[in-house]
Every structure is written in structure tokens, then in C-alpha cells.
């Protein structure tokens, strides 16, 4: 597919993109790595400092063989590396893995805003810089103002779209047993609902490209109608979408759904940085007219949150 005729054209706020999935290459590639429940769960625990195999088995509640299989996969994908620490094997994030930090902060921003839970560890992280309990604020790196979905425009970038993205996606939406989730980490339960299934995450991403009808999603994502139907009703049930009208229903992001925008933006940026030569899709921040590069700021001291800049 040739995208040259659409390069650089801003996308109208009223019109859906011709084919969001084709242009959402970076998101699809990012989801190919983290859009798997077990991989996401393991990455989360390594983030929180559990480096040993036995600890990871215990924390995740996954079987040893599954932990071993997913660690191997994450090592192969470049997210995690094995280190020998005093004769013992440890699993640590690589530079590429650490770069997922902004995605994690974007998830915390959304989850804390809508599902604040007193006992949730990640809702009480403290910023090493100022020593205060903080919430991350997704901000524009150029003007340092907070951004949201309504403050940005999409443009087609120079990167080539790739039409062979969805071919290996599993259709079944797996459910994780409640018993496998630590009560102090309900954030993972909610994150897994959204990012732990690639079709669900891509359906949300398409909604940000202003796709609204059943047929629109089907065409944009190349998704089978039974899979789409399942994901749309689940997202409506979760309060991420609202469904308006009978017959030709429209699915729109709710306020809660809209605040997932930084998650999609940071995932896209991560995918662009690690898997794509040039972005196929570029965002601009309307307030300052600059290309949107997201940065996460501490709401207490205003400084930028770097990897590992927290304690709990
Ligand atoms: Zn800006
Ligand atoms: Zn701070």
C-alpha cells in the first residue's frame, strides 16, 4: 500500500482514518510484545523489583513452565535480560524494557484517576526527587502543558504502513483467575483487561482515530464480527465505551476511555522507537503546534519522572 498521497495531511476531527490499523503499526508492534497477559504480568513484577525466577512464579501465580516460556520470549524480544548476580540468575529490564516506564506511568495516571484504591501499591508511589506521593501527569515535552485526546491532532508520517499486522492475533479473550492476582495490585487486573488482549487494545486505539460504528471497526481492524462483538460489549461493560442508538449503534469513548489516550500515545512512541524506522503516524499538540512528544511529570514538584525514580 502506498501512503505517499496522504503524507503530512492533517486528519479532520470529524472523519475517521481510512484504515487506522495500517497506520497504527507502532501500536500493533508494541502490543505484539506486551499485549499478552503473562508477559505483561511478568514485566510489571520485574518493574517492581522482583528479579528471581522463584519470586516471579510466586508473585504472578503463573506456572513455572509459563513463566519460563514468557521470560524466554521477553528475552528474545529484547525487553528483559538474564544476569548472573552472585551465582544466581536474575531477570532485569533492558534499555528497551526500561523505556516502557512511560507506558506504566500512563497506566497509573488512568487507573489512579478512575479506580483509586487505598491499598493499591502503585497508587501510592513516592517520587524520589521530591519525596512526595505523586500522580504522573502526561505532558507535552515542548510546552510542558498537560495534554489529553482532545488537544491533539493526527497526521500521517513518513513511515510505511504494514498490512500484515493482525494475522497472528489470537481470537480468544483469556481471563485471568482472580486468585492469581495479588490483592495489593488491582491495577494489574484492570490493565490486563485492556492491554492483555491485543484486539481489545486495538479497538480502543481505533476509537481514538474516530472510528465509531460496528462496520467501521470491522473494516479498520480486519477483525471477525464475533470477536469484535465480544470486545465492544466488554469495553461497554467496563465503561470505556458507551453505546448510543439502536440498529446502527455508535460506540464512543467515555471520559474514562478518553483518559486512556496517554497509554495509547506512550505505547505508540515505544513501538516507533524500537520497531519502526520512521513513524507512520505523527501527533501534534494543538496548544503549541509542535509534534507531540509525551513526557510524564510529577504533579507535586513538576519535574520529569525518570526510570526508577520512585519508591513505595
Ligand atoms: Zn505542547
Ligand atoms: Zn516530585
C-alpha 132 to ligand 2 mean position (Å):
6
* Separation of alpha carbons 52 and 46, rounded Å: 9
Quote the pTM value. Answer: 0.86
pLDDT of residue 173: 61
How many A from CA of 282 to the centre of ligand 1? 14
Cα 30 to averaged position of ligand 2 atoms, centre (Å) = 28
Q: What is the pLDDT of residue 159?
A: 75
Mark the ranges of the chain whose per-residue pLDDT is less than 50: 1-14, 167, 176-181
Which domains does the chain show, CATH number per domain?
13-35+101-311 (1.10.10.10)
The tally of CA atoms less than 13 A away on the side-chain side of residue 132 is 10
Cβ atoms of 277 and 25 within 8 Å: the answer is no
Rg (CA), the chain: 19
146 Cα to the center of ligand 1, angstroms: 8
Q: Are 235 and 229 in contact (CB under 8 A)?
A: no
- Res 21: pLDDT: 58
CA 139 / ligand 2 centre spacing (Å): 14
pLDDT of residue 239: 94
Give the C-alpha separation, 262 to 196, whole Å: 17
pLDDT at 67: 96
User: Ligand 2 center to residue 168 CA distance, Å?
Assistant: 42
Amino acid at each position: 500500500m502506498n501512503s505517499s498521497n496522504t503524507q503530512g495531511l492533517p486528519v479532520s476531527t470529524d472523519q475517521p482514518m481510512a484504515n487506522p490499523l495500517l497506520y497504527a503499526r507502532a501500536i500493533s508492534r508494541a502490543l505484539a510484545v506486551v499485549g499478552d497477559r503473562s508477559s505483561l504480568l511478568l514485566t510489571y513484577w520485574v518493574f517492581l523489583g522482583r528479579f528471581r525466577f522463584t519470586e516471579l512464579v510466586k508473585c504472578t501465580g503463573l506456572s513455572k513452565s509459563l513463566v519460563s516460556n514468557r521470560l524466554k520470549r521477553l528475552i528474545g524480544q529484547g525487553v528483559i535480560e538474564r544476569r548472573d548476580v552472585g551465582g544466581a540468575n536474575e531477570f532485569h529490564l533492558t534499555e528497551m524494557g526500561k523505556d516502557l516506564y512511560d507506558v506504566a506511568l500512563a497506566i497509573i495516571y488512568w487507573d489512579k484517576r478512575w479506580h483509586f484504591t487505598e491499598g493499591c501499591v502503585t497508587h501510592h508511589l513516592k517520587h524520589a526527587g521530591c519525596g512526595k506521593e505523586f500522580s504522573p501527569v502526561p505532558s507535552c515535552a515542548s510546552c510542558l502543558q498537560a495534554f489529553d485526546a482532545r488537544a491533539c491532532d493526527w497526521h500521517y508520517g513518513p513511515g510505511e504502513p504494514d498490512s500484515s499486522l493482525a494475522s497472528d492475533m489470537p481470537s480468544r479473550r483469556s481471563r485471568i483467575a482472580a486468585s492469581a492476582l495479588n490483592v495489593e495490585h488491582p491495577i494489574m487486573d484492570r490493565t490486563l483487561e485492556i492491554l492483555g488482549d491485543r484486539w481489545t487494545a486495538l479497538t480502543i486505539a481505533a476509537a481514538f482515530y474516530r472510528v465509531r460504528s460496528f462496520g467501521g471497526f470491522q473494516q479498520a481492524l480486519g477483525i471477525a464480527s464475533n470477536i469484535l462483538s465480544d470486545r465492544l460489549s466488554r469495553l461497554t461493560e467496563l465503561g470505556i465505551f458507551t453505546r448510543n442508538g439502536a440498529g446502527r449503534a455508535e460506540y464512543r469513548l467515555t471520559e474514562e476511555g478518553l483518559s486512556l489516550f496517554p497509554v495509547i500515545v506512550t505505547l505508540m512512541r515505544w513501538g516507533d522507537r524500537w520497531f519502526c524506522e520512521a513513524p507512520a503516524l505523527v501527533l501534534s499538540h494543538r496548544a503549541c503546534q509542535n509534534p507531540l512528544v509525551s513526557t510524564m511529570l510529577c504533579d507535586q514538584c513538576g519535574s520529569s519522572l525518570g526510570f526508577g525514580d520512585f519508591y513505595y
